[in-house]
Structure 1
């Protein structure tokens, strides 16, 4: 892992890093020393590691909760190169949506394609970050909505070091088997009037999660209208399950 820049503002240090070909960013409380829980934060489709919503949420988690928070550019997003195979998968998604088909199956194909690369990358980043003094080998959590959920469910299922997750804004297409292996506490967010993910699809994914400690928060509004108080709910959720 190689750090390429350090900036500080509002009580939070922000470090850009690369791990091999993976570009990422780490937020910690300013001058943080000693171990602390680490939150891995996945971004949505078409976004990147420093998308405004990701950065704002990460900074709040660091400043108010004392967490370390990391985000990386998902494969074929942000600073990552795009391959011909990615463009082919994307073309299938767009053609299906233009034809009025259920987008769930096409999204599942896209997310499965990305997850094959993203899951081992996240696990490698987690290993590298836990070597840092300001992170240490304590508990880790994951936050991801929409595509961040599509990549997060298989990650949480595969990674025993992740002890809690905030997921949502996605249906069960292609995720049922992985969801059945998620046994950690989960806070699941659902937008009641989601214009991209039918309500029953989101509820099906929530039902598929094996976690006995799962909680559903449903709010009115569309796919991109998660109310701000849910950031505070997620902060308190991680504090309960990761920080004691």
Structure 2
């Protein structure tokens, strides 16, 4: 892991990093104890690691809970180069949406492909983060942002990596068999966010994904509104602090 830039504002240190071909960012309180809980935060399809909503949530968790928050660009997103497959999938998605056609087949195929690449990248990133003395291997870890593409990546990541002890997912991604299979292997506490009127995702399919999650403790927050309309009042902090504690105060 190589840090390439650092800024401090409003009590939060933001550090850009690279790990091989992966580009990422780490937010942490400017002061506080080491080994604070670590939250891995995924971004939505077509977005990037510093999307304003994601960055705002990361800063909120750093200032109110003392957490360290990490985000990486998914393959073909943000500061990472796009392949011919990325360009083709994006063009097909734009064409389907412009024509009012279902995006499910393209979205499922592309999301599954990205998840196969991104899960090993996230696990390698977590390895590198835990090697940092200020984080360490004992800091509790959660997957804290999983709407749309973040769900397609976050569910198989959480199923595969036992270091993740709580997770936030969302219903805003097209459901496919491999995603359902991974959901059945998730056993940690889950908060599931659902936009009730999502124009791109069938509500029953999203409910089926929630039902498939194998966790004994799982909660759904459903809100009226379309695909991009998640309300600002949905705060991840109460769920995360219940399962991770806060900096210096274990759950």
Aligned to 1:238: 240
Q: Which residue of 1 aligns with 2:141?
A: 140
Structure 1 stretches of 4+ with a deviation exceeding 4 A read 94-101
The equivalent residue for 2:89 is 89
> Following the alignment from structure 1 to structure 2, what is the Cα–Cα distance between the partners of residues 220 and 31?
38
Answer whether contact 1:170 1:205 (CA < 8 A) is retained. no
1:206 to 200, 210, 226: 210
Deviation at 1:38, TM superposition (A): 0.6
Deviations 1:50-99 (A, max 9, x none): 01011000000111011100001110001101111222333444455556
Partner of 1:39: 39
Q: Secondary structure at the match of 1:230?
A: coil
Q: Distance in 2 between matches of 1:27 and 1:223?
A: 27
Indicate conservation of the 8 Å contact 2:107/2:174, yes or no.
no
Indicate conservation of the 8 Å contact 2:43/2:149, yes or no.
yes
Change (3 A) 1:102 1:173: farther
Question: How many aligned positions are there?
Answer: 242
Provide the rounded CA distance (Å) in 1 between the counterparts of 2:96 and 2:204: 20
Measured in 1, the distance between the counterparts of 2:216 and 2:108 equals 25
Unaligned runs of 5+ in 2: 246-250
1:223 aligns with 2:227: yes
SS at match of 2:188: coil
Where does structure 1 lack aligned partners over 5 or more consecutive residues? Answer: none
Q: Does 1:183 align with 2:184?
A: no
1:97-155 per-position Cα deviation (integer Å, ceiling 9, x unaligned): 55654322321111111111100000000010111222222221112101111111111
Correspondence 1:38-117 to 2 at 5 A: 38-97=38-97, 100-117=100-117
CA contact (8 A) 1:44 1:148 kept: yes
Q: How much does 1:9 deviate? A: 1.0
* 2:151 corresponds to: 149
Deviates more, 1:110-119 or 1:191-200: 191-200
Structure 1 residue 171: Cα displacement: 4.1
Kept in 2, the 8 Å contact 1:37–1:242? The answer is yes
8 Å contact 1:172–1:208 — kept in the other structure?
Answer: no
TM-score calculated relative to the size of structure 2: 0.91
Secondary structure of the equivalent of 2:234? helix
How far off its partner does 1:36 sit?
1.2
Superposition RMSD on alpha carbons, in Å? Answer: 1.5
| 1:6 to 2:9 alignment | no
Q: In 1, are the aligned partners of 2:27 and 2:62 still within 8 Å (CA)?
A: yes
SS in 1 for 2:227: coil
